[in-house]
Amino acid sequence: MAASRTRAKVARPTEQEAAEAVRTLIRWAGDDPKREGLLDTPMRVVRSYREFFAGYGQDPNAILARTFSEVEGYDEMVVMNDIRFESHCEHHMVPIIGKAHIGYLPDRRVVGISKLARLVEIYAKRLQIQEKMTVQIADSLQSVLQPKGVAVVIEAAHQCMTTRGVHKPGVGLVTSRMLGAFRTNAATRREFFATIGLTARGGLPNT
């Protein structure tokens, strides 16, 4: 029930209504939205938001729908690492900047490598918390590809901690989700961590 409420369609305001909301925030910050340097700012912000949150208009499962089964029996790990992303914290609406590492063990089907990066982008371009985004990416891969296992690790810096609040620059958050063989087989999990370079930094706990 909670998930369905989260994904329920919302009535979007018009561009002009959104721009007026930005003008209200400018006034609340203590400036005049009618002064020369701020006249065009509301519409610039609206256009930026359209780009920042484009993921709401895209279906991650559709991105993964086209798979390839002619892989000549390939059944080793497929890994894409260092997928850079930019997202926004749903609590403060400030940037989250990081990188995602994705691995899966195919079971007859693989997906085009660009689709893994697109999957990350779709979920990143929504209001997010890192833990939820990690689960969403892993669960989408598991649901569509039905592989023998999925591994997702996300490393990111949150500006809600660096530019406000506790003001702790240089702090990073690491989250992971392991499914199938990556959860049950420690050797498979270690191989994935080594492939994405986490072993050198101490790796992750058994997840």
Kindly list the catalytic residues: 89-92, 130, 158, 160
Q: For 29-53, give one letter per residue: b (16+ CB within 10 A) or e.
A: eeeebeeeeeeebbeebbeeeeebe
Given CA atoms 90, 7, 133, 84 in this order, what sign does their dihedral have?
A: negative
- Chain centroid offset of residue 34 CA: 36
Residues 107, 76: contact at Cβ < 8 Å? no
Token pair belonging to 164 = 């406000």
Residues 12, 88, 45, 120, Cα dihedral to 10°: -80
